[in-house]
Structure 1
Amino acid sequence: MSTMASPSSAGAVATPVAPPATSPATPPAAAPQPARLEPLSGAARNWGTLALSAAVFMNVLDSSIANVSLPAIAGDLGVSTNQGTWVITSFAVANAIAVPLTGWLSQRFGQVRLFVASVALFVLASWLCGLAPNMTMLIAFRVLQGFVAGPMIPLSQALLLSSYPRALAGLAMAMWSMTTLVAPVTGPLLGGWITDNMTWPWIFYINVPIGIASALATWAIFKNRETATRKLPIDAIGLSLLVIWVAAMQIMLDIGKEHDWFASPVVVACAAVAVVGFIYFLVWELGEAHPVVDLSLFKVRNFWAGTLAISVGYGLFFGNVVLMPLWLQQYMGYTATSAGMAMAPVGLLAIVLSPMVGKTIQRVDPRWYATFAFLVFALVLWMRSHFSTQVNFGIIMVPTLIQGVGMAFFFIPLITLTMGKLPPERVPAASGLSNFLRITAGAVGTSVATTLWERRATLHHARLVEQLGSGDGVAGQFLHGMQAAGMGAQQALMQMERMVNQQAYMLAANDVFLGSALLFLLLVPLVWLANAPARGTAGADAGAGAH
């Protein structure tokens, strides 16, 4: 699903000119604060908004458009559909690693230059993804694509906010949010249509004209609004450790189901590297003067509670978003287009309700909004846990449509809670860390959901076969009926196996949906561990990160 909206689906810099992510040992006064740029007006502001929104649209679209195309990509490149999920998780992990670097890179090279370079490199990586001759090359190019996309969404917010007067900051973020909600609706539909009527590489080639137009327009409008630059030390060791443990963890999750998990020495080795790398990363970052990740943020209750809630919630959401089209195409006979149509309505109500959430978040305790979102997600997944192999398109659409309500009340309230107790100079570092964890959770959620689906399907298959062989005569009657209809004995057995497999995977999907619903309910108390932010702190600063 896209990301529900974002479906769904990156980071956020809340202030127009992002201050450096200072550590506690570095006083904020050490960072020069350039004067605020005058807002744009007239056609320049309109075209600038369109150019920035086009880049965001392209980025978010790319995180959802591939979901419904996974079976086609896997089949064309000669790998299993499980291996095909690497197309999604590799992008997400690389994107998550790049997000914390946005602050350092923007101060080193300037926000405008970095944004335009990010868009241009994203276009190049998209073109290379379409040309990939095998899965190995496709994953490598997706890693590149995800990494260069890291600064794109945070900087689009920063540049957009600098283009509008402070009084219109809410309007600017509402327009930005519309882009991130429309893309997940468009992604499954467009990806399904391209897969069925063209070839899958076009889901990547479509980025080329959009990205070129966005990069050229952004440079033309914003080149004279470049932010000040300065040389800052980079935590190279911390960054290297971050890459090592995150990559090892994701490889373990992705290959585990193919190698019987910890029965495989390769999986054990990846797990060991991930654990040891994570421990060394924590030790190093806690003692580093300019850490790539400011771990001291976890001393703030609102930050750790809000980040944990949004990360786990997003991981649950995104894992189920990937699972649904796989189930529909592989075991329910849906084409990529019809699976995309079944997933697309998720953003419709989100588009309608998000402006209302943005306008009222300063007057309503965001904990109530977040609680409502989790309850809606739990309801949606509970409804899906009652699907059967006879479920029709209309019934599938109902929970998908309702899910849009939850999306509208999910991101902005939780970001408001997470950032509401932080001073402005810590918001960029906090936003980068929060979004790193959220995006990583999305990749982990995808791997965990598909793994549990496969394992539960194997269990249900064994139970169904056991029931058929229990001597009740059902299997014999079925085979006799198939043979009476003109099938040979072998054909009848194959037909029965197909039906058993379909039932097993349907029951397994129901298990994943129900388990996810229960976990969403368990997240509700976590939200209430955070303190309500003071009224008036939920404006543009809190909204920058709603993706």
Structure 2
Amino acid sequence: MANQPTTTPAAPSPPPPLEGGQLALATFVVALATFMNVLDTSIANVAIPTISGNLGVSVDEGTWVITVFAAANAVSIPLTGWLTQRIGQIRLFVGSILMFTLASWLCGIAPSLPVLLMSRVLQGAVAGPLIPLSQAILLSSWPKAKAASALALWAMTATVGPIAGPLLGGWITDRYSWSWIFYINIPVGIFAAGVTWMIYRERETPTRNPPIDVVGLALLITWVASLQIMLDKGKDLDWFGSPVIVALAIAAAISFAFFLIWELTEENPVVDLRLFKQRNFLGGTIAISVAYAVFFGNLVLLPQWMQEYLNYRSVDAGIVTAPLGVFAVILAPVMARVLPRSDARIIATLAFVGFAFVFWLRSKYVIEIDTWHLVLPTLLQGVPMALFFVPLTAIILAGQPPQRIPAAAGLSNFARVFCGAVGTSIAGNAWNNRTVLHHVRLTEHASLGNPLFVQQIDATRSVLGIDTHAAHALFDFTVNTQAAMMGLNDIFFASAVIFVLIIPLIWITRPVTGGGDAAGAH
């Protein structure tokens, strides 16, 4: 037994930190790959009406471009640890960038919605490892004493991406073509992959061949895909009046139940559900997932409403949403200094209160709203954005042993990203349902048997010099616009209420001071 240590290969020592210009260049290209990834989570938001029109589909069908990317991304995230062990950290990172670049090209040349959706599924799937690996690579590149600085730079990049997406996507769509929102990834991806490989190819991590939980992965894909398709197609197929939706619901429920049983009993699960036994992980993960679902769902609806009902161009809708990044970027470095000396639960609570206030402001929108009153809540939303991710991540990972941090980070990220995709579908369906409800209420007395309605139509004809058919069309347009506004206000108000209701989830967790454990996730 005394000789045992000599027969076990020693773990290789990590490579030394990079220095000088090499460190600066490495940080830039790794952050660039991260930026490219997170940019694509939102760059298509403002282009959905244009993409839908060009491909001959409805806007509701067009939102699949966003949701299938998020769903595929959610499924692939838990596989990052297993793939890293088999392929190596650097090879996986560079390979993911190149595959992401290829998928972007396929998205750009897509001649139809099904082809575009398949390309977006590929793009989302290969993007899964980029976020966790970019953090790990940056942390290995910087001295431990400056790890907080590395994460602050990374956080700024990850924050700016989703915010710059609508602005950049709107400008490209208006000036060129929607295809170019994907083509721009090609030179960026090739450059980032090439320079990353040049700097890091001698810093590859050791590999081994761990078993893969094939059954768990198949069940994961089945219930995620079934649920996502059910949510996206439910409105078009009359929900549970359709046998297709019923079949999807049954498939999702059964596969999810078997997934839970299998993963809780499997020796090497693809998703370690036992982590939910820990109070901090449970409360923090549910809180960040629900909050992200509400946030991301609204992030998709706002530019869509501005383009459909306020006649904003894609670029103008992007400009309105861009101020979200001002305070988010300014306050990100401040958070790195404040969090180590504060209770993370207090900061996260302030973030949720801030989000609730912003959505309450938006619930007061009217159809005659000017641009400034659209921009103001978006600008203010940058404050809770800066207070959002880091404290909740610190709560989620608090007390985790080092060997479990990758699994905890992967599972919490999976829950967050998947809920973002589901939130997009739910928000779109809820807006449509509330719009229909308000339309019915607004038109319940609009009939030829109502003298007041007939009088209003005659007055419109007289003032505008139009015929009866045109007067009815104008009335219908006005009602549609007002109903959509009222429906959106309902969504905003409900979002504010949800943010208040999930605050107790933060306080079921144990106190956490300091953000050091958050190094492993976002």
CA contact (8 A) 1:184 1:344 kept: no
Aligned to 1:83: 61
Aligned to 1:27: none
CA contact (8 A) 1:483 1:492 kept: no
CA contact (8 A) 2:280 2:395 kept: yes
Letter in 2 for 1:172: A
1:359-378: CA deviation from partner (whole Å, max 9, x where unpaired): 11111000000000000100
Which of 493, 498, 502 is residue 481 of structure 2 equivalent to?
502
CA contact (8 A) 1:461 1:501 kept: yes
1:116-138: CA deviation from partner (whole Å, max 9, x where unpaired): 00000000000000011100010
Question: Equivalent pairs: percent with the same residue?
Answer: 51
Which of 184, 205, 208 is residue 230 of structure 1 equivalent to?
208
Letter in 2 for 1:281: F
Once the two structures are superposed, the pairs formed by residues 52-451 of structure 1 within 5 Å of their partners are 52-451=30-429
Aligned to 1:24: none
Which of 433, 440, 453 is residue 455 of structure 1 equivalent to?
433
Aligned to 1:4: none
Following superposition, the deviation at residue 468 of structure 1 comes to 3.8
Letter in 1 for 2:178: W
1:496-536: CA deviation from partner (whole Å, max 9, x where unpaired): 11010000000000000001110100011110000012x44
Aligned-partner Cα distance in 2 for 1:284–1:507: 45
Aligned to 1:529: 508
Aligned to 1:518: 497
CA 1:31 to 1:92, structure 2 compared with 1: closer, same or farther past 3 Å?
A: farther
CA contact (8 A) 2:283 2:506 kept: yes
Aligned to 2:521: 545
CA contact (8 A) 1:357 1:409 kept: yes
CA contact (8 A) 1:67 1:325 kept: yes
Aligned-partner Cα distance in 2 for 1:334–1:484: 27
Following superposition, the deviation at residue 545 of structure 1 comes to 2.4
Q: Tell me which of the two structures has the higher relative contact order, counting C-alpha pairs closer than 8 angstroms and 6 or more residues apart.
A: 1
1:38-79: CA deviation from partner (whole Å, max 9, x where unpaired): 100011111100110110110011111100000000111111
CA 1:272 to 1:210, structure 2 compared with 1: closer, same or farther past 3 Å?
A: same
Aligned to 1:23: none
Q: Match of 1:314, SS? A: helix
1:151-204: CA deviation from partner (whole Å, max 9, x where unpaired): 011111100000000000000000001111222232111111111111100000
Aligned-partner Cα distance in 1 for 2:482–2:461: 18
Q: Match of 1:68, SS? A: coil
CA contact (8 A) 2:405 2:520 kept: no
Letter in 1 for 2:32: A
Aligned-partner Cα distance in 1 for 2:225–2:10: 35
CA contact (8 A) 1:252 1:270 kept: yes
1:308-358: CA deviation from partner (whole Å, max 9, x where unpaired): 000000000000110101111111111111111111111110101111112
Aligned-partner Cα distance in 2 for 1:484–1:63: 47
CA contact (8 A) 2:135 2:519 kept: no
Which of 455, 460, 464 is residue 485 of structure 1 equivalent to?
464
CA 1:472 to 1:506, structure 2 compared with 1: closer, same or farther past 3 Å?
A: farther
Aligned-partner Cα distance in 2 for 1:210–1:290: 37
Letter in 1 for 2:348: A
Aligned-partner Cα distance in 2 for 1:385–1:70: 23
Q: Match of 2:104, SS? A: helix
CA contact (8 A) 2:328 2:383 kept: yes
Aligned-partner Cα distance in 2 for 1:129–1:480: 50
Aligned-partner Cα distance in 1 for 2:248–2:62: 20
Aligned to 2:5: none
Letter in 1 for 2:252: A
The answer to whether the aligner puts 1:473 opposite 2:455 as a matched pair is: no
Following superposition, the deviation at residue 143 of structure 1 comes to 0.2
Following superposition, the deviation at residue 474 of structure 1 comes to 5.2
Aligned-partner Cα distance in 2 for 1:92–1:295: 21
Letter in 1 for 2:505: L
Aligned-partner Cα distance in 2 for 1:479–1:97: 58
CA contact (8 A) 1:483 1:489 kept: no
Which TM-score applies when normalising by structure 2?
0.97
Question: Which stretches of structure 1, 4 residues or longer, exceed 2 Å deviation after superposition?
Answer: 30-34, 467-472, 474-484, 543-546
Letter in 2 for 1:485: L
CA 1:124 to 1:479, structure 2 compared with 1: closer, same or farther past 3 Å?
A: farther
1:271-317: CA deviation from partner (whole Å, max 9, x where unpaired): 00000000111111111111000111011000010000000000000
Letter in 2 for 1:274: A
1:449-507: CA deviation from partner (whole Å, max 9, x where unpaired): 00010011011001101144484725632442234322121111111110100000000
Which TM-score applies when normalising by structure 1?
0.92
Letter in 2 for 1:503: Q
CA contact (8 A) 2:354 2:381 kept: yes
Aligned-partner Cα distance in 1 for 2:396–2:470: 58
Q: Match of 1:292, SS? A: coil
Letter in 2 for 1:392: D
Letter in 1 for 2:464: A
Return 5+ residue gaps in structure 2 as ranges.
1-7
Aligned-partner Cα distance in 1 for 2:102–2:9: 34
1:218-277: CA deviation from partner (whole Å, max 9, x where unpaired): 000000000001111110111011000100000000000111111110000000000000
CA contact (8 A) 2:439 2:479 kept: yes
Q: Match of 1:362, SS? A: helix
Return 5+ residue gaps in structure 1 as ranges.
1-29
Aligned to 1:43: 21
Aligned-partner Cα distance in 2 for 1:159–1:465: 59
